[in-house]
Structure 1
């Protein structure tokens, strides 16, 4: 479950960690672990208090009475209880309301996904702006990494100074994803609560039961893997890099959809349907936001103190279009622009020394 909640932020966090100095990684990881424990709640579930059964024998002086423990105080018993009235209960009621309008929990899950993605649009736009700003800094970050490859302290100082002068937060794109984690957790538990109702067990499309895991041939799982892979390609297009850590991270990200497929096989089909709908809507939403979000304005900074010449950050390369992403997914060759040879320059040959030109010859005649 914890992997399910954090897979949306894993892509962004992994990319940002590659550019952070090592001394800051432990602090960030510690904060994330604390936030995860607070959100998911690690307190054990309260057990029911045993009720003493009345004895048929009369109580005498020798009878021993067992004291009844006091009842558990009302209120929050674990950190996770705060999300029951804030997220889980409203999500459950909204799904029930949509089921009353549409008559199918499958359609209710799809419409519910559309509503959630529309609500999270401002966070998505902030994430895209942060990604474009970080893309504009990548050439200068690579230059700093090459120059100070053996000086870790100087590399950390120059990297942070570059972020400060450019006004870029390296974790700015991950904060919106961290905000979505409790929302995704609440939706998961809302669907799990509805899985026990008979209406949720009704068939939808080729799925015989939304409350049970999908069987062979795992059509929904295949659609989930394909949509997840396409979403990752749009979010993180393949870029050539010489950093071995970045190359290993890119290879690991390619296998993430397969890992989630293995995990989702045992999940109810309704949960997988929600995830597939989220991937498809996110692909369309990301494509639209990338086209509507303006490119970052050029920023003039100086990379090092020994080289005060200003450097202008150029606009980042354009993200792949939806058609290009599909061609990459299918492995089709990319169209190569034809380079037309430049026409040879026109040269005027001067007459050789000692030989008169034709005009002079005519005059002599």
Structure 2
């Protein structure tokens, strides 16, 4: 607990230093911190997203063989499972699957620490852009986050067309309602992170086009 409090205090100090260097703007400090954190992690998150895309492409190519295995071992589920594992291993599927999980494990405590530090500093935060008080929720900020989330999903080539159709509205709606009930200072961090997610989708599309 003491280690966690020290971690949050360090982030809060970074936020105060950023705000001081940005003419006392706590809102700009939150955005700057979010961009710093997400851009540092971008090489890892981009690599994980590219890996997910390549895994999906490989799975699509293996679909006829998977169907053949299902027919061949229709009466023996254990043999079917073993044959699938062998097929996946032969084509390199499953190798490095923990990359995305590792990235999430790094982002989760960092994000929680940043949120805790922002929450501590909101008491003295005032207005920013159209937002009258960063300690209170803002409807237009929630709409901005939802729009950025939607754009990132639309441009993400690592998601299948079916997944986009079925799931693209769920994270958008969740983002809108969560940010709508968060203090705007926390919503600013979410908005800046969503902007980096959009950048990641654009970079992933470009990388796939150049390597295809």
TM interval, short-chain normalised: 0.7 to 0.9
Give the alignment partner of residue 183 of structure 1, picking from 97, 110, 118.
Answer: 110
Measured in 2, the distance between the counterparts of 1:159 and 1:169 equals 18
Measured in 2, the distance between the counterparts of 1:191 and 1:141 equals 47
Change (3 A) 1:94 1:159: farther
In the TM superposition, residue 143 of structure 1 has moved relative to its aligned partner by 2.6
In the TM superposition, residue 114 of structure 1 has moved relative to its aligned partner by 1.6
> CA RMSD, aligned part only?
2.6
Cα offsets for 1:189-223 (capped at 9, x unmatched): 11111112x2x1x1111100001122xxx211111
2:84 aligns with 159
Measured in 2, the distance between the counterparts of 1:185 and 1:176 equals 14
Measured in 1, the distance between the counterparts of 2:77 and 2:174 equals 34
Change (3 A) 1:185 1:250: farther
1:142 aligns with 63
Compute the TM-score of the two structures, normalised by the length of structure 1: 0.50
Measured in 2, the distance between the counterparts of 1:185 and 1:144 equals 44
Structure 2: segments with no counterpart, 5+ residues: none
Q: Larger Cα Rg: Structure 1 or Structure 2? A: 1
Alignment of 1:123 with 2:44, yes or no, is: yes
Measured in 1, the distance between the counterparts of 2:103 and 2:80 equals 28
User: What does 1:157-306 correspond to in 2, within 5 Å?
Assistant: 157-167=82-92, 168-196=95-123, 198=124, 200=125, 202-214=126-138, 218-235=139-156, 236-239=158-161, 251-292=166-207, 295=211
User: What does 1:72-151 correspond to in 2, within 5 Å?
Assistant: 76=1, 81-86=2-7, 88-102=8-22, 103-147=24-68, 148=70, 150=74
Give yes or no for contact 1:141–1:159 (8 Å, CA) kept in 2: no
Measured in 2, the distance between the counterparts of 1:174 and 1:144 equals 28
Cα offsets for 1:32-63 (capped at 9, x unmatched): xxxxxxxxxxxxxxxxxxxxxxxxxxxxxxxx
Compute the TM-score of the two structures, normalised by the length of structure 2: 0.82
Q: Secondary structure at the match of 1:173?
A: helix
Measured in 2, the distance between the counterparts of 1:229 and 1:171 equals 26
Larger helix fraction of residues? 2
Give yes or no for contact 2:136–2:182 (8 Å, CA) kept in 1: yes
Measured in 2, the distance between the counterparts of 1:204 and 1:138 equals 47
With a CA cutoff of 8 Å and minimum separation of 6, indicate the structure with the bigger relative contact order: 2
Change (3 A) 1:239 1:157: farther
Give yes or no for contact 2:142–2:175 (8 Å, CA) kept in 1: no
Give yes or no for contact 1:124–1:176 (8 Å, CA) kept in 2: yes
Change (3 A) 1:101 1:166: same
Measured in 2, the distance between the counterparts of 1:132 and 1:256 equals 19
Q: Secondary structure at the match of 2:100?
A: coil
Measured in 1, the distance between the counterparts of 2:201 and 2:99 equals 17
Structure 1: segments with no counterpart, 5+ residues: 1-75, 241-246, 296-314, 316-365
